[in-house]
Structure formats: structure tokens, C-alpha cells
Amino acid sequence: MFPAERPRRLRRTSALRRLVAETSLSPVDFVAPLFVAEGRDAPVAINSLPGHFQHTVSSLHEEVRRLHDVGVGGIILFGVPSSKDELGSGAWDPSGIAQVALKSLRDEFGDDLVIMADLCLDEYTIHGHCGVVRSDGTVDNDATLELYARTAVAQASAGAQVVAPSGMMDGQVGAVRSALDDAGFQETVIMAYAAKYASGLYGPFREAVGVEIAGGGDRRSYQQDSRNRREALREARADVAEGADIVMVKPAMTYLDIVSDLRRELDVPLCAYHVSGEYAMIKAAAANGWIDGTAVAIEQLTAVRRAGADFVLTYFAREIAEELGR
């Protein structure tokens, strides 16, 4: 008796495997998160994100050139201000670090790659929350929307082609869309952090941007609860209804069910953020010689695509783009 089903037949050679592969992974599917710090004269390495830096505007340009050269699809910029305040005014200050860097990048790169701005306040606030904090310590949703609206307009004016509201306030996409439209930025794209979970995987990012949440607090009153699956669809549908052009799931690996759900239920482009802790885990295990970091990175990024994401925000963007080009 011969087996009736012989799936191994198609796995025999690498050419056959490539021909029948259901999922592809290429540099254009990557968006690289980058950090730019105010008032520095040299880039500073971020310990928990090996290979990443708080850039100066000039080292940022060099990095974006390298990313562009290897065909990476885009970058998303985070600003690290030299001083913070209660409301996070650096986020919308036209001479704030993110705006200065966005303008400078846009001058050099034009429309050659997609330049995105993360839109949030936590890097700019003393208390480290993503919004306006009331005297009782809670985060005021609607007062925050007004500040997101200002920030969106500042980022679009500076040259961001995509703004990415990441604070998980209700109504944030609608508020940003109408502010952009009123200011004449009808063509600025909104990529919504639609399903963003309160995760333990953001630790290295918080080192990267120097954010500590006041009083040992957390973001559980605005970011999603990891026990919930249906709720992600509710969040994403609301964002699309408010005008989101692209929706995101974050983190990636622990939420592939969510990626798959949103792919099935929505028509808009979908992405996932392979976050700082996901990168750091691979780097740390690889540094110990416990796993092959490159192989695991490719496996994970492929899994995100297989689950249904069109592209991936990843700290591996340059490294794996270089690897895929070999």
C-alpha cells in the first residue's frame, strides 16, 4: 500500500518549496521603528535593543539611507525630547524633535519610502501616560483627543505621510481625521493602533524613549486586556468607521489570532507590530547561543504575514532585509 497523500513530494527541493510557498516575506513588508533624541551630539545605544540607538538627526539620516538601500518599505519615528511637561507639549511643538526630524527626512527622501510618525504623548509627559491625567490619577479620554489632534497636524505639517495614533483613547481616529481634514491634510494617511494590548513586552521600548509610568502605574485602563479577543474586532471596526486607512495589531506573536480575525473581517490593509520585547527575547537567546536568531526572526516575521498581516513593524527590518537580499 502506498500512501494516498504525499505532501512531502512538494518539499523535495528548495525550488519546489519556493514555488508552492503560500506566504512571502520581503524587505518592502517591513517598517522600521526609529528613535530620534533631542539635544544629543552622538547616537546613544539602547541596551535592551541591541543594534538600535537614540539617534541624532544626522545618524537618523544615515540609518534611513541604509534602510532605503536594502528596500525596506518605511520607517516609523518616535521622538525623545530633552524635557517633558504635564501635557506633553513637545509632541505638537513645531520645533519639537519629532517634527524637526520628520521635516529633515522628508527633505531628503521625499516620497521614496513611507515616513510615518507615531502619534502619542507618553514620550513627552512627566507622568509617562498617553494622555491628560486628572487630579485623581485617571486618564481623561476627551481632553486627550484635543492634544492628539494638534499633534497630528504638527506631524503632517512637518512632512509625515502617515500618522499612527497609538494611545488607545476612544474616538482618537475620528478626532485626528477631522483635525487633519480641517487643516488641509486630506491626503495624510492614518494607521491606527487599533488592537493594542496592555503587554509586558514593551519594556525595552520604554528604555528606548525614557518613559516610566508615574507611581508604578500601568496602561490597563486604556490598552486592551489580553484575555479578550472579540473586543479587538470592536476596536478595529470603530477605527475603520472613524476613518482609519490601515489598522494594526500589537504585539504580534502573542496576538496572531487577532491578526487572523481582523484579516477575515476587514477590507483595509492590516499590519502588526513585532514589539521591542519580542525583538529583545530573540536577541538575548541568540546571544547565549540558545537559538539561531536570524532563523527565528524570519520564522516569526513569516508567521505574522501568514496570519494575515500585509506588513510588519519590526526592529529586525534592516537586519532581515539584508539577510533576504543575500
Q: Which of 89, 276, 300, 314 binds ligand PBG (CB under 6 A)?
A: 276
User: Is position 250 annotated as part of the catalytic site?
Assistant: yes
- Residue 202 in contact with ligand PBG, rule: CB under 6 A: yes
When asked if residue 124 is in the footprint of ligand PBG (CB under 6 A), the reply is no
Strand, coil or helix: what is 220?
Answer: coil
How far is Cα 34 from Cα 152, in angstroms, rounded to an integer? Answer: 18
DSSP state of 111: T
Considering the complex, what minimum distance in angstroms separates the CB of residue 15 from ligand PBG? 37
Query: Cα–Cα distance between 275 and 44 in angstroms, integer?
Result: 20
Q: Whose grid coordinates read 509610568?
A: 213
Distance CA 180, CA 189 (A): 10
* Joined grid coordinates for residue 318: 534592516
- Contact between 275 and ligand PBG per CB under 6 A: yes
User: Judging by beta carbons within 10 Å of its beta carbon (0-12, 13-18, 19+), is residue 165 exposed, middle or buried?
Assistant: buried
Question: Smallest distance, Å, CB 44 to ligand PBG?
Answer: 17
Measured from the CB atom, is 108 or 218 closer to ligand PBG?
218
Q: Which stretch binds ligand PBG (CB under 6 A): 23-31, 81-89, 116-124, 173-181?
A: 116-124
Q: Residue 249 region, left (φ>0) first, then alpha (ψ -120 to 50), else beta?
A: beta
Size of the site for ligand PBG (CB under 6 A): 10
| CA 256/CA 275 separation, integer angstroms | 13
Place of cell 524633535: 97
The residue from 53, 92, 148, 205 that contacts ligand PBG (CB under 6 A) is 205
- Please confirm, yes or no, whether 196 is among the known catalytic residues: yes
**Which entry of 84, 103, 196, 283 is annotated as an active-site residue?**
196
Q: Which one of 38, 93, 118, 242 is in contact with ligand PBG (CB under 6 A)?
A: 118
What mask, x for binding ligand PBG by CB under 6 A, covers residues 35 to 74? ----------------------------------------
Among 161, 143, 140, smallest CA distance to 152 is for 161
Rank residues 110 and 195 by Cβ distance to ligand PBG and give the closer one. 195
Shortest separation between residue 93's beta carbon and ligand PBG, angstroms: 17
Q: Is 125 in the site for ligand PBG (CB under 6 A)?
A: no
**Cell of residue 80, nine digits:** 525623545
84, 103, 250, 283: the active-site residue: 250
Q: Among 98-106, 118-126, 263-271, 296-304, which window interacts with ligand PBG (CB under 6 A)?
A: 118-126
Q: For the window 153-182, what string marks contact with ligand PBG as x by the rule CB under 6 A? A: -------------x----------------
For the chain, give the longest Cα–Cα distance. 76
Distance from C-alpha of 229 to C-alpha of 66, rounded to nearest angstrom: 38
Residue 27 and residue 318: Cα distance in Å, rounded? Answer: 8
Active site residues: 196, 250
Q: Residues in the site for ligand PBG, rule: CB under 6 A?
A: 118, 120, 122, 130, 166, 202, 205, 219, 275-276
